[in-house]
Amino acid sequence: MADTTEIREGNAPAPQSISEIDVLWITAGLGCAGDTIAMTAATQPSIEDIVLGSMPWIPKVRLHNPFLAIENGDDFLSPFHQAADGKLAPFILVVEGSIPNENNKSEGYWASLGTDEKTGQPITTCEWIDRLALKAWAVVAAGTCATYGGIHAMEGNPTGCMGLPDYLGWHWKSLANIPIVWVPGCPVQPDNFMEGISDNF
């Protein structure tokens, strides 16, 4: 588990009004991306309604999901790096898939997204969570794997997987003082998820 004492506090001031927001969606946990696919079936509201600005009472939304993005490689990861460096705000962090324990082995890694340009090594999923959670307006655990660890958290699994609340802490709160938003399901029920995430704008 991470040493996220500072992250858990969510101690930075939050903006009072939001006109635009980015949604940084990490699918690099251990999972099947079924929650992303399920989300495309949402109708109340639909993903199209949100990203095309059909709902005037919510901010303009820019969605960054590796399965749905036009960009790839470094272009796709650019907003993630900007957010980690404090240059992109506000944003919502969505984590899909269970969180592996990167401290239970002597070498290697369980899950990653992209490569660190300074070291040339993979950036683990846990590193992304550590870099982004502290700066996020809200953090969402999408699906059963992200909320409770799912099948990967069964006893005997060498990855030591856990849910996002186990990783960040069950009393963790975001920049906007919002607890982790849990939307369980295998896969997540699409309308429940879209309603849950839009309620955090």
Domain segments of the chain as ranges: 19-198
- What integer pLDDT is reported at residue 18 of this predicted model? 79
Q: Tell me the CATH number of domain 19-198, given options 3.40.50.700, 3.40.50.300, 3.30.559.10, 1.10.3720.10.
A: 3.40.50.700
Can you give the pLDDT at residue 9? 44
Helix (H) / strand (E) containing 61: strand 60-64
Rounded CA-CA distance 101/110 in Å is: 8
pLDDT (0 to 100) of residue 11: 45
Q: Positive or negative, the Cα torsion across 148, 151, 154, 156?
A: negative
Reduce the DSSP state of residue 153 to 3 states and report it: helix
Q: Yes or no: say if 124 and 102 are a contact pair by the CB < 8 Å rule.
A: yes
Strands (E), 69-194: 91-96, 112-115, 122-124, 138-142, 181-183
Q: How far apart are the first and last CA of the chain?
A: 29
Kindly give the confidence (pLDDT) of every residue in the chain, 201 residues in length, as a single tens digit, with 9 standing for 90 and above. 554 444 444 444 444 577 889 999 999 999 999 999 999 999 988 988 888 888 888 888 999 999 999 999 999 999 999 999 999 999 999 999 999 999 999 999 999 999 998 999 999 999 999 999 999 999 999 999 999 999 999 999 999 999 999 999 999 999 999 999 999 999 999 998 888 777 656
pTM: 0.89
Give the C-alpha separation, 156 to 75, whole Å.
38
Number of neighbouring beta carbons within 10 Å of residue 166: 17
Chain-centroid distance, C-alpha 96: 6
